[in-house]
Structure 1
Amino acid sequence: MDLKLHIDGARIFNASVALGVPVSRLVQDADSVSVCLSKGIGAPVGSVIVGSKSFIAKARILRKTLGGGMRQVGILCAAALVAVQENVSKLEDDHKKAKMLAEGLNQIKGLRLNVAAVETNIIYFDVVEGAKITAETLCKNLEQHGILVMQESPIRCV
């Protein structure tokens, strides 16, 4: 059987930094990888797909068949290049700030949060039913400190 392995690398740079392992090692056994340039590293839009020459040739045909593609994307490519060259190195600090925020949130009575589960820059937590603080009040207080979150449950900060 000729089974292929594709890795959805939407947050591959975050995983690489959190694990202390180069991206190349994380994807070495994959036949193809998609990398999102807007999640985690701050490009305004875009993703890339990596694979063999024949795979990329087929992907281009399929993309055009399905109507994908843009003209004059140079400005977006420039932003993506800056994100890759400059923002990946900032992820470690981003992860530390998320951990610090999680530890601070964990001090608030009425929140359910697993600080140990915060390994990158994503934090999930809930407001416990019957708590003195409401999700609405918490979100407003966080906003006053420049932290914007939606009142979904669980609350997700990235």
Structure 2
Amino acid sequence: MSNWSSDEEVDEMVEEEVDSIVEEIQYNYTQEEVPPAPIFHRVHINRDREGGHIRLWNDYFSKNPTYTNATFRRRFRMNKPLFIRIVNTIENGVPYFRQRRDATGRLGLFALQKCTAGIRMMAYGCSADAMDEYLRLAESTAHKCLEKFVDGVIIFLETSI
């Protein structure tokens, strides 16, 4: 003779035991510590971005620029009025190109610097790292400028057609 009074009691006991095991597994799983994500510290390099903008402005866009319009056309592969129109359109249409303050309160890069980086990288196929020496942009920023510039041109073309 069995000590069990019914199959229902056996089912209930088995179910309780299974529930207990599942709860214990869940508890142990949620109590395990997930290792923290590694912390990366960026090295700040004072690139003198304002100086980069002033140099660019004085070389090509001031009242008496260092370089002629013919030099501008050869280096940028377009005339200056077209370039300025592109910069203004992109600056007004793509928030990334609007100058804003960084976390320290300093003004960020000018739209002219960002667009110049994107256009030069496309026109010459040069590396993003090359933008640091003249325009004073970090490699990652130059990559982002190119990406956002292309996105902006695509958006502009889609809305213009």
TM-score by length of 2: 0.26
Q: Which structure has the highest strand share of the two?
A: 1
- Larger RCO (alpha carbons 8 Å, 6+ apart): 2
TM-score by length of 1: 0.26
Q: Which structure has the highest helix share of the two?
A: 2
Larger Rg computed on CA atoms: 2
